[in-house]
Amino acid sequence: MKKLNLFWIFIFAGICFSCENDTEMSQEQEAQNLKLMFSEIESLAYSESCKDSSNWTFTSIGSKACGGPAGFIAYSLNIDTELFLEKINQHKRAQEEFNKKWGISSDCSLPPQPSGVECENGKPVLKY
């Protein structure tokens, strides 16, 4: 009888530990999805060469756990800005949900807001 009880204890423990690993994988997978979203945003933002800074602007990106943006990104006005800004908003909402769901904390500092964009060697650079 003791062997049978011990068997069920091990089965129950195995189920509990496997659920814990699923949760960790889920957080890892969600973090990976955020990275993929950001990569798509960067690819779209930098799909144009920066030759004339008057054709470029910037927007905030991401969401810190305490609120406010995680940073800023430059983008060309020659891309599909409506699609780009929608991707920015989707990423922001996804990061807000991720932060709440997983209890993420941050330093609560706000990144400095750029004053504009300059072109250097064909790439946009935020100026402060």
Distance CA 61, CA 47 (A): 17
Q: What would the pLDDT profile of 88-120 be if each residue is shown by its tens digit?
A: 999 999 999 999 999 999 999 999 999 999 999
119, containing H or E segment: strand 116-120
Helix, strand, or coil (residue 17): helix
Going residue by residue through the chain, which has 128 residues, state the pLDDT in tens, using 9 for 90 and above.
Answer: 555 444 444 444 454 444 545 555 599 999 999 999 999 999 999 999 999 999 999 999 999 999 999 999 999 999 999 999 999 999 999 999 999 999 999 999 999 999 999 999 999 999 99
Q: Which domain holds residue 102?
A: 2-127
What pTM value is reported for the model?
0.78
The total domain count for the chain is 1
